[in-house]
Chain A
Amino acid sequence: MGTNATTPITLDRLKPGQRAVIRTVRGEGPLAQRLLEMGLLAGEAVRMVRVAPAGDPLEIEILGYSLSLRRNEAAAVDVEHVQ
């Protein structure tokens, strides 16, 4: 309990280089549907690759490809940080 490995956080809180496992995409509607279609499914491994120089958007690696998404979009994704 209380270790980093099990604390659920949102995807936008990951730091570049950190890896996590997706728990769920919250909400309904176009954003949630698009995130799921792009492969952000429960149990899928994700890595924060980098943050754009202006602090937004973010680049993540998922299903072996690079995806750019905005911070507020990433905030709809709950992940479990793994070391």
Chain B
Amino acid sequence: MTTPPVDAAEPAPAHAQASAHQAPKAATPSTPMPTVAVIGNPNTGKSTLFNALTGLRQKVGNYPGVTVEKHVGQITVGGMTVQLIDLPGSYSLAAYSPDEMIAVDVLLGRIPGERRPDAVLVVVDATNLRRNFYLASQVLELGMPVVIALNMIDLATARNISIDAKKLAANLGAAVVPTAAATGVGLDELRAALDCAVKTPSAPTWQIFPALKTAAAELATAHSTPKSPLMAYEIERALLDVGAPAEARVVARQDAALTTALTATRESLSDGRPLAALEAATRYRWIAEQLAATETRGTPPPSWTDRIDAVLTHPVAGLVVFVAVMALVFQAVFVGAEPLMKGIDAGFGAVGEFLAEWLGNGILASFLVDGVIAGVGAVVMFLPQILVLFLFIAILEDTGYMARAAFLMDRVMRFCGLSGQSFVPLLSSFACAVPGIMATRTIPDRRDRLATILVAPLMSCAARLPVYTILIAAFVPAQLSVAGVISVQGLVLLAMYLTGIIAAIAAATVFKRLILRGPTPVFLMELPTYKRLRFRAVAMRLWDRAKVFLVRAGTIIFVVVIVVWALGYFPRSETLAANFEAQRETARTQTAAPATAETEADAEADAKALEARLAEIDAAEQMAQLEQSVFGQIGHAVEPIFRPLGWDWRISAATIASFPAREVVVGVLGTTFALGSDVDIDDAEGETKMTHALQSATHPDGRPLFTLPVALGLMVFFALCMQCGATLATIKRETNSWGWPIVTWFYMTGLAYVAALAVVHLTTAIGL
């Protein structure tokens, strides 16, 4: 059935020819850096191995057109630098989505502008060679030098599994190195094997399913044109993965005759059974042959995983533990990150104040303080939540509990067309959608991941809470209660959270039916054995995520803050400035009159009064300048749109100006209601000032601005709207496209408007 290594003459496409399995010479500065692709099943410790090899010499990017992250690292072997490309974890090269196709494209050298790798490192779980060798068997057929890392060899030994690596290597025609990435075992040998693979390459040329290989090669030759050469492996994938990207692609490039030929070949090869079934049976038979001579499995010791799972997936105990773990994660992100965020806020505030004092009141000061420093602060502010959440995600994933959480939650999440893996990202989004959206990386299915990203910002995040509390404190009477126990204020707050959840369920359902429509994704999920946590692996993941956020999303957030600053600053009215300066002068001269201060106490009181008066003038100036800035003008311009919601220009402007991140909305409300942007509502006095300002605000005709319906409408608007540049920047970064953030903004803003309008009208109708 199987043909031992001879020659797999694979016609490489024109742009891949330079590198495709011709012996690359030892790298000199003039030749391109040798490249090794790293591939493996999920849960094999592939990323840990990648990190252990490359350390901090890593870069994260994106492949064009897909959401897959591109991890590239460098290692030095034998005095030469080799580039490692970490491919997404997968069980097979079969590709049913563009994201899955990336591995095939990288291995074949089909990524535009990139060379075909010089060798492949396949990471396998030494405790489960049978299933892990499925992917390895596919890679061994590609005609590239292969190095196999038998990772987690320590666990295999502990389970009385012994593997004859030398014999396996000789039989396979590939280097085989036992490793334990978590403890550093075998890394030197692995480096040496990689060195050897790129310096003196020898490629195994297995033909595990020769009939398929031959048929694919014939089709490729018959249908290739000089302009568009077909690779035999592309045809092989097109034959196996019916209706998947590989087939669509070769058919699109070639004539319709190829479609007919593909169908005919499938039929002739498979004698009635699906070709994929034949392939699987053939490969597993080959694997059994290979392992029969090289792997011996003794009696395994009793498994801890079974005993732990008896508790952790138990209908009662399991759910209790689950709720406790999730409550802990949520608390940690929501509350635990707060001291750090407060510290960062205070730190940037202090720097800003210092600069402001030093630079005075000019445009430079405003640009540096409210633009640059605020911008950097707005980015850094997210780090504590991201780090805390990813600390927990790393712990949950590396120990193996994350898969159990998805197992427990899958049925519930499927209610709105999502899967169990969406639970943790959505839960985290109650603290902040930014880390929540970053956490969707753990969702394997592309459409499930996009649906989760689209609805994650509907979860009421921590930054919306101040808006709710201030409006509730100002407009929902504190003494109102249901049956004397449940406070209505509390109920309104709960209603805001429920509004977000219900909207998210509805939106997810609609998205999965409309723009993310498609066959139900396959849920097959390995439940890995529980593993000990390794500090280094966790630290590397935190470093990786922090870097990705700061560099990729951070720059967008920073630019948004600068733009919003400029819109709120320009045009500056000199007349207004002079006017308010005159007011300040008057206040100062009045207080300075020495005769009025008879005692020291009086002088002190005068100084205090002056300070208060000056603060008032400053706040009034901020508001006046904002009103005639671009923002104020926009606020006025959109007033008609928001009039049905009962808003005036101040609320509109505050809503728009809070765009850099919802965190700033209290500050902007402070400005628009002439309290100054540094009003602190955590402080009782600040809160009283704010509630009073909102309660006494009026329309120009003297009607109160806020009625209870208007306040409720504003809260619902904030619960559902997408006024958060940081979230949009993160969506852009995670989906690798501007389309999805635009979709998110429009659907959420539309939803927020309609819902707010409905609330205003309904509550007015029932006489609130």
A-to-B contact residues, CB < 8 Å: 25, 27-39, 41-42, 49-50, 52-57, 59, 63-70, 73
The number of inter-chain residue pairs (CB within 8 angstroms) is: 117
Q: Mark B236-257, 1 if CB is under 8 A from A, else 0.
A: 0000111110000000000000
The reply to whether B313 and A50 contact each other, CB–CB distance below 8 Å, is yes
- Which residues from chain B contact A56 at a C-beta distance below 8 Å? 410-411, 414
- CB within 8 Å for A38 and B411 given contacts A28-B242, A29-B243, A30-B96: no
The reply to whether B130 and A66 contact each other, CB–CB distance below 8 Å, is no
Q: Mark B312-326, 1 if CB is under 8 A from A, else 0.
A: 011100110000000
- Which residues from chain B contact A73 at a C-beta distance below 8 Å? 522-524
- CB within 8 Å for A38 and B131 given contacts A33-B241, A68-B403, A73-B523: yes
The reply to whether B412 and A54 contact each other, CB–CB distance below 8 Å, is yes
Interface residues of B in 371-418 (CB under 8 A from A): 403, 406-408, 410-412, 414
- CB within 8 Å for A36 and B407 given contacts A41-B284, A65-B131: no
Tell me the nearest residue of chain B to A54, going by C-beta. B411
Flag whether B63 is at the interface (Cβ < 8 A).
no
- CB within 8 Å for A29 and B242 given contacts A67-B524, A67-B527: yes
Flag whether B357 is at the interface (Cβ < 8 A).
no
- Which residues from chain A contact B526 at a C-beta distance below 8 Å? 38, 65-68
Q: In the bound complex, how far is the Cα of B403 from the Cα of A56, in angstroms?
A: 14
- CB within 8 Å for A52 and B410 given contacts A32-B277, A68-B403, A68-B527: yes
The reply to whether A30 and B519 contact each other, CB–CB distance below 8 Å, is yes
Tell me the nearest residue of chain A to B278, going by C-beta. A36
- CB within 8 Å for A36 and B276 given contacts A57-B523, A68-B523: yes
8 additional A-B pairs beyond A37-B92, A54-B412, beta carbons within 8 Å, are A28-B276, A33-B92, A39-B130, A41-B284, A57-B411, A63-B131, A66-B305, A73-B522
The reply to whether A28 and B281 contact each other, CB–CB distance below 8 Å, is no
The reply to whether B407 and A55 contact each other, CB–CB distance below 8 Å, is no
Among A31, A41, A52, which residue has its beta carbon within 8 angstroms of that of B411? Answer: A52
Tell me the nearest residue of chain B to A71, going by C-beta. B411
Flag whether B192 is at the interface (Cβ < 8 A).
no
The reply to whether A68 and B284 contact each other, CB–CB distance below 8 Å, is no
Q: Mark B67-102, 1 if CB is under 8 A from A, else 0.
A: 000000000000000000000000110101000000
- Which residues from chain B contact A64 at a C-beta distance below 8 Å? 128, 130
The reply to whether A32 and B318 contact each other, CB–CB distance below 8 Å, is no
Q: In the bound complex, how far is the Cα of B445 from the Cα of A31, in angstroms?
A: 13
Going nearest first, the 9 A-B pairs with the smallest beta carbon separation are A54-B411, A36-B280, A66-B527, A53-B315, A33-B276, A28-B274, A37-B92, A68-B525, A30-B96
The reply to whether A32 and B411 contact each other, CB–CB distance below 8 Å, is no
- Which residues from chain B contact A35 at a C-beta distance below 8 Å? 524
Q: In the bound complex, how far is the Cα of B406 from the Cα of A70, in angstroms?
A: 12
Question: What number of B residues sit within 8 Å (CB to CB) of A?
Answer: 44
The reply to whether B130 and A63 contact each other, CB–CB distance below 8 Å, is yes
Tell me the nearest residue of chain A to B135, going by C-beta. A37
Q: In the bound complex, how far is the Cα of B414 from the Cα of A30, in angstroms?
A: 19
Interface residues of B in 213-255 (CB under 8 A from A): 240-244
The reply to whether B91 and A42 contact each other, CB–CB distance below 8 Å, is no
- Which residues from chain A contact B281 at a C-beta distance below 8 Å? 36, 41-42
Among B244, B318, B319, B407, which residue has its beta carbon within 8 angstroms of that of A68? Answer: B407
Q: In the bound complex, how far is the Cα of B538 from the Cα of A54, in angstroms?
A: 31
Flag whether B468 is at the interface (Cβ < 8 A).
no
Q: In the bound complex, how far is the Cα of B243 from the Cα of A36, in angstroms?
A: 18
Q: In the bound complex, how far is the Cα of B315 from the Cα of A52, in angstroms?
A: 7
> Can you list 13 A-B pairs, Cβ within 8 angstroms, ordered by A?
A27-B274, A30-B519, A34-B92, A36-B281, A38-B526, A50-B309, A53-B315, A54-B408, A56-B411, A59-B407, A64-B128, A67-B525, A73-B522
Return B201 CB to nearest CB of chain A, in Å: 28
Q: In the bound complex, how far is the Cα of B522 from the Cα of A53, in angstroms?
A: 20
- Which residues from chain B contact A54 at a C-beta distance below 8 Å? 408, 410-412
Flag whether B430 is at the interface (Cβ < 8 A).
no
Interface residues of B in 591-615 (CB under 8 A from A): none
Return B83 CB to nearest CB of chain A, in Å: 29
- Which residues from chain A contact B319 at a C-beta distance below 8 Å? 53
Q: In the bound complex, how far is the Cα of B410 from the Cα of A49, in angstroms?
A: 17
Q: In the bound complex, how far is the Cα of B305 from the Cα of A8, in angstroms?
A: 31
Q: In the bound complex, how far is the Cα of B241 from the Cα of A38, in angstroms?
A: 16
Flag whether B659 is at the interface (Cβ < 8 A).
no
Flag whether B569 is at the interface (Cβ < 8 A).
no
Q: In the bound complex, how far is the Cα of B128 from the Cα of A65, in angstroms?
A: 7
Q: Mark B258-281, 1 if CB is under 8 A from A, else 0.
A: 000000000000000010110011
Flag whether B717 is at the interface (Cβ < 8 A).
no
Q: In the bound complex, how far is the Cα of B277 from the Cα of A33, in angstroms?
A: 7
The reply to whether A69 and B523 contact each other, CB–CB distance below 8 Å, is yes
Return B415 CB to nearest CB of chain A, in Å: 10
